[in-house]
Structure 1
Amino acid sequence: MTPGGHLRASPLKTVTMRATAVATSLAVLVASWPAAAQTRAKGPPLLRDTETEQLLRDYTRPILRAAGLEKQNIQVAIINDGTFNAFVADGRRIFVNYGALRQSETPNQIIGVLAHETGHLAGGHLSKMRQQLAQAQTQMIVAMLLGLGAAVAGARSGAGSAGAAAISAPQAAIMRSLLSYQRQQEENADKAAVKFLNATGQSAKGMYETFKRFADQGLFSTRGADPYMQSHPMAVERVRALEELARSSPYWDKKDDPALQHRHDMMRAKVSGFMERAETVYRRYPISDNSLPARYARAIAAYRHGDPRTAIAQIDALIKTEPSNPYFHELKGQALLEGGKPAEALAPLRKAVQLSHNAPLIEMLLGQALVGTDNKAYAEEAIKILRAALAREPEAALGYTQLAMAYGRRGNLAEADLASAQAAYLRGDAKTARDLASRAKTRFAIGSPGWVRADDIVNTKPVKN
């Protein structure tokens, strides 16, 4: 179109463009269904924390066992998003927003959500949905082609609207069928979740409470909506069916174990301290609240937003209360490291590694502190610790970055380039990864293990979206 011009389409061209647009949009939907799993850097922004991830493993382990998925190595990944949401996208991970963790008042509430997502995995809903989408795309194309014939005839006879109707009516029916299928999947996942909770002796009340709360909040927005054009069951109907199913369980009134509730409260306090503004943290956990979770949240907020000395004093008080808690020692080490005192961070981080039985994320933090001291005497220890951590967390870009620096301290430029290339690759920077790997190849002996790993990166083709 030129400035000031006007494009006028014939009736036939209009319906053809409309049908093509609908078919194309469906093709995009098919292609983007597993988008979260397609690339490393372009996936959802994730948060990592040993304490929280261990709690989520403890939550999901019995559910996955009941679903027959315990040997599938399914992980729970935390998304950096403050809203309440959870979903599955690649068949091997359950994604949960940190907002869902923060807003779940009891373990049972978030376990119910995780059980629902496990229901999707156990039912193979992702692959089945892809098949339905592919089938719907084919049906759309056929409907479009058949409709074009009617459109041509209509254009010749002057009845262009009849051709448009011949295309749009089948498309609407196909979309309704697709959405109906997705609603059935959601209902099946609800039923599976209650089944898994019953099998593990847990109540479905938390799941019901969560869904009920969001149904009440979204009730107005669904009023007047076409139930056949919704991808999820209508809120009121879904909650009513879930309540009936959940109340029939003999475990309906079963409470969470107090020790598990305490861990849950500590996790929520940690999420608040790290992810929310200081004033929000102090509003949730006022000075008058002397509980351990409240003290934990305020100590984190003090280190993140306040006076470092005050923060260290508060963390030391936590350690005095629970000297065997690895995450208090980790917090102290992290506060000192980020406060520009890597040498002072070594002792608490070594203690945290010991108490956590060599948790890899904490080992990486220790490795970072060792590198941060600029003391060449620590380089070999850092390399040993970081390599051990990366053997169990091979997709941690930060670990490779610190490993590259440690190799640089030792003057091992080949390994430094290779580690830097691996870090860039994991960040999704394919060009930098290939450039660094190419340089690493020139430093390694041809055919050596390092040369082979570098060559793999050079020859890796970037994933196309």
Structure 2
Amino acid sequence: MRRGVVSLAVAAAMAFQPIAASAQQARAGVIRDAEVEALLRDYATPVFGAAGIRKGSVQIVLIGDRSFNAFVADGRRMFVNVGAIMDAKTPNEMIGVIAHESGHIAGGHLQRLREQLANAQILAIVGMLLGVGGAAAGMASRDRVGNAGGGAMGIALGSQELVKRSLLAYQRSEEQAADLMALRFLQAIRQSPKGMLDTFQRFNQDAMFKTASVDPYLVSHPMPNERIANLERLAAKSPFLDVKDPPALQFRHDMARAKLFGFTAKAEEVGRRYPPSDMTRPARYARAIIAYRYKRLPEALSQVDALIREDSGNPYLWELKGQVLLEFGRAAEAIPLLRKAVSLAPSAGPIRTLLGQALVATESKAGAAEAVRELSNAVQREPEWAEGWHHLSRAYGLKGDEGMAAYAAAQAYFYSGDYNAAATQATRAKEKLPPNSPGWIKADDLLNTRPPQTP
């Protein structure tokens, strides 16, 4: 598991979200993990099919935030907090969350929200103009009435309050629509609505005291009690209400949760949740990761080896052992383990990137060609991942190809949001590469690419 950065392209898209938590979550950073991402894709694929969302058109992005939340920003990305997975006890709960967010995408809510925001801006401007006009009139009649536009200020403030309430009412209606669509998607894929209902009931318990004195017209989501009552009534009609998750899927979910706790929680919390007396594989997985994080190398390697002996076909165990060795300065030992992981999960970009990183870390020109091959494969699959381009630049540099090293560095800077550095490196790449060669053309294209603009 590795942290990344949110590119400005994502940040710009997220600016449309009128929810304060969104920017806070973006600052928490993107988490990359092949195992968790694969699990979420498996959860989402049938839901997207039921929602009519084209395969591959929506990317699921993990955010390193412990709160239970998920949201969509631009119709192309669904953001899921790691806290949502850690709190969800079953796959069905996470599938319900994904179904709800898919309802927003399928319903075109983001585009309509932009329209509502545009209308709200117009209404706010009109209200302000009325207030200014009233203030001017008040100034003109000051001597007669003794009030320089106090009523006009009321008009301006009142119009802004009306705009806010109108926008929040729109958001509440879209949340209810997404709930209904989610139930429809879940039925289409023969999933129980119980997980979705359990999630909202948990929200209700958390919010029980917070919402007692809240004005229901000043929140962006329906009130929990109202929402749960509607869901309970509709869920009871589902023929799949009592369907349980397959044991193999539940096991994968438990392993993913254990991994997230191992990488993000404090040792004390992991010890309470997964005590030494718990000898299940998820518990041992979490403890192995904690041992690695706290630099207890022999203990970490021993525990991972025991897990591999029980499940040698699990690519993520090989990846973890390779990552442990790489980060403890034993790159040469990590390489065969990461090759094994890639052979078991060939489409996992983060694992290929880790293998490329290990090959580069040996500083061996013999491994540079393989590193370029693996990292090129990774960035072709995920061209917006800056870390992959960064390691590819290092691999080209180790190989002695300065032009392509500069081009890869330009891409790394571009997707990190540093457009000036990206332009500098792209210019350098054009100077180093043969004119009109494939790399030269790509560098030129990058120079002519307009960076994303924040709305």
Q: 1:384 to 1:231 in 2, by over 3 A?
A: same
Deviation at 1:136, TM superposition (A): 1.6
* AA in 2 matched with 1:287: P
**Residue type at the aligned position of 1:351:** K
Q: Distance in 1 between matches of 2:387 and 2:205?
A: 42
Displacement of 1:280: 1.6
Q: Is 2:61 the partner of 1:61?
A: no
- C-alpha distance in 2 between matches for 1:174 and 1:426: 36
Structure 1, residues 47-80: CA drift from partner, whole Å, max 9, x if none?
A: 1111111110110111111111133621211001
- Aligned equivalent of 2:16: 33
Match of 2:83 among 99, 118, 126: 99
Is contact 1:367–1:382 with CA below 8 Å preserved after alignment? Answer: yes
Are 2:219 and 1:230 aligned? yes
8 A Cα contact 2:365 2:398, kept in partner = yes
Cα deviation for residue 265 of structure 1 reads: 0.2
Deviations 1:75-95 (A, max 9, x none): 211001111111011101111
**Is the CA contact 2:91–2:245 (under 8 Å) kept in the aligned structure 1?**
yes
Q: Which runs of 5+ in 1 are unaligned?
A: 1-28
Tell me the equivalent position of 1:158: 146
Q: Which residue of 2 aligns with 1:130?
A: 114
Partner of 1:16: none
Between stretches 357-366 and 56-65, larger displacement belongs to 357-366
What is the Cα deviation at residue 337 of structure 1? 0.5
| Amino acid of the structure 2 residue aligned with 1:386 | L
**Paired residues for 1:178-257 under 5 Å:** 178-257=167-246
CA RMSD of aligned residues (A): 2.1
Q: Which residue is 2:100 aligned to?
A: 116
In the alignment, which of 56, 77, 84 is matched to residue 68 of structure 2?
84
Shift of 1:278: 1.8
Structure 2 gap segments, 5+ residues each: 1-11
Q: Rg bigger for which structure?
A: 1
CA distance in 1, matches of 2:426, 2:154: 57
Deviation at 1:43, TM superposition (A): 7.4
| Amino acid paired to 2:251 | H
Q: Secondary structure at the match of 1:221?
A: coil
Q: Which of 95, 112, 124 lines up with 1:140 in the alignment?
A: 124
- 2:380 aligned with 1:391, yes or no? yes
Q: Is the 8 A contact 1:35 1:89 kept in 2?
A: no
Q: Contact (CA 8 Å) 2:403, 2:429: kept in 1 or not?
A: yes
Alignment of 1:299 with 2:282, yes or no, is no
Q: What are the equivalent positions in structure 2 for 1:318-329 lying under 5 Å apart?
A: 318-329=307-318
Corresponding residue SS for 2:208: helix
Distance 1:44 1:69 in 2: 28
> Are the structure 2 counterparts of residues 397 and 270 from structure 1 closer, same or farther at C-alpha, using a change threshold of 3 Å?
same
**C-alpha distance in 1 between matches for 2:397 and 2:120:** 55
Number of the residue aligned with 2:34: 50
Aligned residues between the structures: 434
Q: Do the aligned partners of residues 93 and 464 (structure 1) sit closer, same or farther apart at CA in structure 2, a change above 3 Å counting?
A: closer
1:352 equivalent in structure 2: 341
Contact 2:169/2:220 (8 A) holds in 1: yes
Q: Is the 8 A contact 1:61 1:70 kept in 2?
A: no
Percent identity between matched residues is 51
Moved more, 319-328 or 440-449: 440-449
Look up the equivalent residue of 1:334 and give its one-letter code.
Q
Q: Is the 8 A contact 1:72 1:92 kept in 2?
A: no
Per-residue CA shift, 1:5-49, capped at 9, x if unaligned? xxxxxxxxxxxxxxxxxxxxxxxx99931599x99xx77621111
Mapped pair 1:362 → 2:355: no
Deviation at 1:169, TM superposition (A): 2.5
The answer to whether the 8 A contact 1:63-1:196 is kept is: yes
Distance 2:33 2:13 in 1: 33
Equivalent residues of 1:77, 1:96 under 8 A apart: yes
Contact kept in structure 2, 1:215 and 1:236, CA below 8 Å: yes
Moved more, 242-251 or 449-458: 449-458
- Counterpart code for 2:228: V
